[in-house]
């Protein structure tokens, strides 16, 4: 089954623990934590203290903390986020001069390693690192802010990456982040995604967190029935 990773970037931070608990109770398998530094992307978000605060909640529920480092020189903070409780750390290929070394450093910390590509970055940028990672993240919006619209050409890119992974037998998760909604979840999953990151589609005022997650599950039923 496709896993859901609610992005806390869109949560109400005055009720963060409550909303995270609601997402986990509704069946979210991962929690996605977007770390931005105001340099690699034009926004500043959160740091290791939030990961540390979420750790006991996530551990109690058996949910993975999926930390996406949209920062320059991420190798400076790998140990800090690992100590805070990250289960997965994903770095941007565009931010790493020595990508293999960074991925190796993540794994040496006992954390699963992921790599992410911006919308305009070709898949060739990760071809050589694929055997060494646990996850590849396709950004389907330009990173920096929540609530953006899905870039339609991302679907074909996801399908091409799925073909690359299947052809080589690599079991890495294929995660998609950006503009993921209940109405396009089936399309993204059918293209080959195994993890869907959703922020404003899960944390909003239109419906409860549980209702939004249920809408995703309903939308994904068609993909499961076709498999």
Q: Distance (Å, rounded) from C-alpha 85 to C-alpha 58? A: 9
pLDDT given at position 226: 61
pLDDT tens for 138-194 read 999 998 877 789 999 999 999 999 999 999 999 999 999 999 999 999 999 999 999
pLDDT tens for 86-101 read 999 999 999 999 999 9
Strand order in the sheet with 88-92: 3-6, 195-198, 173-177, 135-139, 112-117, 88-92, 64-70, 30-36
The residues assigned a catalytic role are: 34, 177
pLDDT > 90 in the chain, percent: 93
Residue 45 has pLDDT above 90, yes or no: yes
pLDDT given at position 225: 55
Summary mean pLDDT of the chain: 96
Q: Are 214 and 220 in contact (CB under 8 A)?
A: no
Residue 224 has pLDDT above 70, yes or no: no
pLDDT tens for 60-87 read 999 999 999 999 999 999 999 999 999 9
Residue 227 has pLDDT above 70, yes or no: no
Determine the average pLDDT of the residues in 192-213: 96
| Domains of the chain, earliest start first | 3-197 (3.20.20.70)
Determine the average pLDDT of the residues in 118-141: 97
pLDDT given at position 176: 98
């Amino acid at each position: 089954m496709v896993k859901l990773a609610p992005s806390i970037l869109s949560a109400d931070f005055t009720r963060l623990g409550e909303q995270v608990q609601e997402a986990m109770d509704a069946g979210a398998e991962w929690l996605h934590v977007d770390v931005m530094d105001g340099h690699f992307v034009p926004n500043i978000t959160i740091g290791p203290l939030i990961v540390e605060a979420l750790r006991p909640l996530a551990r109690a529920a058996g949910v993975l903390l999926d930390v996406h480092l949209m920062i320059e020189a991420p190798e400076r903070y790998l140990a800090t986020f690992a100590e805070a409780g990250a289960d997965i750390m994903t770095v941007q290929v565009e931010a790493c001069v020595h990508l293999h070394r960074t991925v190796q450093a993540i794994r040496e910390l006992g954390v699963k390693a992921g790599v992410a590509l911006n919308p305009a970055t070709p898949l060739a940028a990760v071809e050589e690192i694929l055997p060494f990672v646990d996850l590849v993240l396709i950004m389907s919006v330009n990173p920096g802010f929540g609530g953006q619209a899905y870039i339609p050409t991302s679907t074909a890119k996801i399908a091409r990456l799925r073909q690359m992974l299947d052809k080589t037998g690599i079991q890495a998760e294929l995660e998609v982040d950006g503009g993921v909604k209940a109405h396009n979840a089936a399309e993204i999953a059918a293209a080959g995604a195994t993890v869907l990151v959703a922020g404003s589609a899960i944390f909003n005022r239109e419906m409860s967190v549980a209702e939004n997650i249920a809408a995703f599950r309903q939308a994904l039923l068609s993909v499961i029935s076709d498999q």
